Structure 1
Amino acid sequence: MLDWDKLRIFHTAAESGSFTHAAEKLGMSQSAVSRQISALEEDLSLKLFIRHARGLVLTEVGEQLFRTAHRMHWELQQVETQMSESQDVPTGLLVVTTTVGLGSTWLSSRVHEFLMLYPDIQIEIKLNDAELDLAMREADVAIRLHRPNQSEMIQRKLFTVHNHFYASRDYLAAHGEPRSVEDLDNHRIITFGEPVPSYLAEINFIERLGRPDSSPRRSSLKVNAIYGMMQAAVAGIGIAMLPAYVTEGQDKLRRVLDGVELPAYEAYFVYPPALKSSKRVGVFRDFIVGKAREWSY
C-alpha cells in the first residue's frame, strides 16, 4: 500500500518541477522533500525522477504515477468542495481554462464582478491555446472556441465570435483607409504565426482574401497570439483580422472594410458530467451565459 503522504509530496514535486519549489509549497525543507521522494522510490523499487541541473524530469513510470496521483488529488478536492457545498453558499476553488486571447480580455474583465457576487469561490484561470483535458482533471470548466470534441462533455453555446479588420487611427492617417479588398495589397498586414491552432484555422484569411491560392499576401508581421496581434495593430504596424472580443474597449482601433464577410466561429462553455451538480460550476456557468447574452459584438 502506497503511503499517501509520500504520494502527496511526489505530486507536488512533479507539478513544481523541483524539490525547492515543492518545499516552499509544502512548508517543508528541501532535504525533507528529497528524503520522502527517495523513500517512495525505495518502496516501489523504481526511479520516479531524473535529477537534472534545470529541474526534475519524470521517468515513464513517474508519469504514470503522476497521472494517478493527480486524479486522486483532484477527487479529494472535489470531496472537500462537495462537503463545503452542502451548505447554501457556493464555495471552493474553480479552475477555468480558455485561450490566451479570450481569457486575457473578455473573461478577465468580467471575473471581478463574479468574485464580488460569490466571495467564497476562488478562481484560477489557466490561459492556454493548447486545450487542457477536462476529463483528466486539468481544469474544472473551459470556454472553448469550437464545439467540444468529447461528446460526453456538457456544453452550452455562449456566442458567435465575429471577426473584423482593424487598424489604428495613426496607421490610417499615415497610409489611408482601404476601400476595397484589392486595396489590401497596398497595406501592411498582421497575421497569426505558425503553428495555427485548429480552432483558428481561418485566422489568416486576410492573406488569401481576393488573392489566388498560389499567391497569398505577405505579412509584415506574424505573432502567434491573438492578443499580440491586437497590440501590434494598436501600435500602428498594419491591418489585422481580429475577433471582436479582443478589441473590446480599444478606442485606438477602427474597423475597416466593414462590408466584407469574414469567417466566424462559436464559443462554448464546457464542463464534465462529474461536475453537473457542483454549485460553484452552476453559478459560474449562469454568470458567464448571462454576460454572453449582454455582450454586444
Structure 2
Amino acid sequence: MTGMDWDKLRIFHAVADAGSLTHAGDKLNLSQSAVSRQIRALEESLNSTLFHRHARGLILTEQGELLFDATKSMSKRLEAASARIRDSEEEVFGELRVTTTFGFGTLWLAPRLTKLYEQYPDLKVDLMLEERVLDLPMREADVAIRMKEPSQADLIRKRLMSVQMKLYASRNYVERNGMPEVIEDIGAHRLICQNPRSAQVGSAAVLVQKLMTHNPSSLLTVNNYFGVLQGVIHDLGIGVLPDYVTEDFPDLVPVLPDEDTSDVPVYLAYPEELRHSRRISAFRDFVQNEIIAHRKHMKELGKI
C-alpha cells in the first residue's frame, strides 16, 4: 500500500466531502488539475477507482465509500487530538458540544448556563438536545447528560442525581377543577403527558399507562416535557413531569404525590480520551455544583 500518503488522503477527503474537484481545490488552495493529479495517483496506488465522474460532479464508488469512512474517522480522531492538545493549556475556552434530552436541556440545564458563562465567558457551548443517544467515542458530542447509564465502552460516567416522574397541576387549575384524591379521580381531568410511543424514560411510560386505565376525560400528548410543562402552567390539566421542575416553577402543585414511580438516574458521560480536558472538567464541576445547590434548595422547599 505504498502511495497512501497523508497528503493524498487529505486531498481525497476534501474531494469526497465537497463532491467536486473545484470546490475541494478552493478549500485546499490547489488548482483543479493538481487535485485531479493527486486523486489519480491515489487511485493508481490502490489499483481501484474511487470516484465515478459525472457531469454534475463526483460520486464515490464502493471502494471510495470505504476509504471515505476511514478518512472521516481519521479526521475526527485528529480533531479530538488537537482539542486535547489545546485543552491541556490553562484557559477554558473554545467549543464544548453538550448533548442531553430535550426536557432536561430546556428545563434544567439551559436556565442554569448563566453561571457557567459567568465563570468562563470565552466558552462556546453547542447544546444538542435530542432523545437519540449521540455517539461520544465517535465524537458526535464531547459530553452527554443521560437519563440512563450509558452503555458504550470507553466512557467515563458519573451518576449525578435521581429524578422522579410525578404529577403536577397549576394552583389555578386545582382551584377550578378540584384536586384528585385517588387515582380513579383522573377520570374527571385532562391529562397532559408524553405520547406513549415517543422516546421517554421507562418510569414515565409506566405511570402514563397506569393513568390511562382510569380514562382521563381529555388528553394532550406532547413529544417533550417542555411542551407538557407549558400546558400545565397555562392551567390546561394535570401533567406528568420530572420532579426537578418544581424548583423553578413554584406555582406547580403536586397531584397524587403517593403514586410512586421508580427513580430515573441521571448520568454525565464523556469519552475516556477527554479525561484531561479542562473544558470538560469545568463543565462537570459546574453541573455538580448546580446539582448540590438544587438539592439544597429542594430540601429547603421541603420537596425532598
Does the aligned pair in 2 maintain the 1:49–1:59 contact within 8 Å?
Answer: no
Show the 5 A alignment for 1:23-102: 45-46=49-50, 64=66, 67-102=69-104
For the residue of structure 2 that corresponds to 1:202, the secondary structure is helix
Return the match for 2:162 from 160, 163, 171.
160
- Structure 2 residue 222 is the aligned partner of structure 1 residue 223: yes
Does the aligned pair in 2 maintain the 1:48–1:62 contact within 8 Å?
Answer: no
Q: Which amino acid aligns with 2:289?
A: G
| Deviation of the 1:88 alpha carbon | 1.9
Decide whether aligned partners of structure 1 residues 119 and 210 sit closer, same or farther in structure 2, where only a CA change above 3 A counts.
closer
Partner of 1:256: 255
Decide whether aligned partners of structure 1 residues 7 and 48 sit closer, same or farther in structure 2, where only a CA change above 3 A counts.
farther
- Structure 2 residue 204 is the aligned partner of structure 1 residue 203: yes
Using the size of structure 2 for normalisation, the TM-score is: 0.75
Q: Which runs of 5+ in 1 are unaligned?
A: none
Superposition RMSD in Å: 3.7
Partner of 2:176: 174
| Deviation of the 1:67 alpha carbon | 4.2
1:3-62 C-alpha deviation (Å, 9 max, x unpaired)? 414524644x59xxxx9xxx8xx997xxx99xx89x96996734589999xxxx998777
Partner of 2:146: 144
Partner of 1:291: 290
The runs of 4+ residues in structure 1 deviating greater than 4 Å are 39-44, 46-52, 57-67
Does the aligned pair in 2 maintain the 1:141–1:281 contact within 8 Å?
Answer: yes
Distance 1:229 1:284 in 2: 28
Question: Number of paired residues?
Answer: 275
Distance 1:274 1:88 in 2: 18
- Structure 2 residue 283 is the aligned partner of structure 1 residue 281: no
Decide whether aligned partners of structure 1 residues 63 and 217 sit closer, same or farther in structure 2, where only a CA change above 3 A counts.
farther
Partner of 2:301: none
Partner of 1:108: 110
| Deviation of the 1:157 alpha carbon | 0.8
Distance 1:231 1:58 in 2: 47
Distance 2:52 2:64 in 1: 4
Does the aligned pair in 2 maintain the 1:187–1:238 contact within 8 Å?
Answer: yes
Distance 2:85 2:137 in 1: 22
- Structure 2 residue 13 is the aligned partner of structure 1 residue 7: yes
Distance 2:53 2:106 in 1: 34
Partner of 2:302: none
For the residue of structure 2 that corresponds to 1:4, the secondary structure is helix
Distance 2:292 2:129 in 1: 23
Distance 1:284 1:51 in 2: 49
| Deviation of the 1:242 alpha carbon | 0.5
Decide whether aligned partners of structure 1 residues 203 and 150 sit closer, same or farther in structure 2, where only a CA change above 3 A counts.
same
Decide whether aligned partners of structure 1 residues 270 and 183 sit closer, same or farther in structure 2, where only a CA change above 3 A counts.
same
Distance 1:129 1:192 in 2: 13
Q: Which amino acid aligns with 1:74?
A: K
Decide whether aligned partners of structure 1 residues 194 and 204 sit closer, same or farther in structure 2, where only a CA change above 3 A counts.
closer
| Deviation of the 1:126 alpha carbon | 0.9
Q: Which amino acid aligns with 2:237?
A: G
Q: Which amino acid aligns with 2:273?
A: A
Q: Which has the larger radius of gyration?
A: 2
Q: Which runs of 5+ in 2 are unaligned?
A: 299-304
Q: Which amino acid aligns with 2:185?
A: D
Decide whether aligned partners of structure 1 residues 61 and 283 sit closer, same or farther in structure 2, where only a CA change above 3 A counts.
farther
Distance 1:158 1:94 in 2: 19
Using the size of structure 1 for normalisation, the TM-score is: 0.77
User: Which segment drifts farther, 135-144 or 174-183?
Assistant: 174-183
Q: Which amino acid aligns with 1:203?
A: A
Decide whether aligned partners of structure 1 residues 66 and 248 sit closer, same or farther in structure 2, where only a CA change above 3 A counts.
farther
Does the aligned pair in 1 maintain the 2:163–2:244 contact within 8 Å?
Answer: yes
Return the match for 1:123 from 114, 120, 125.
125
For the residue of structure 1 that corresponds to 2:80, the secondary structure is helix
| Deviation of the 1:203 alpha carbon | 1.3
Decide whether aligned partners of structure 1 residues 84 and 207 sit closer, same or farther in structure 2, where only a CA change above 3 A counts.
closer
| Deviation of the 1:196 alpha carbon | 3.3
Does the aligned pair in 2 maintain the 1:145–1:268 contact within 8 Å?
Answer: yes
Identical columns (%): 31
Does the aligned pair in 1 maintain the 2:186–2:214 contact within 8 Å?
Answer: no
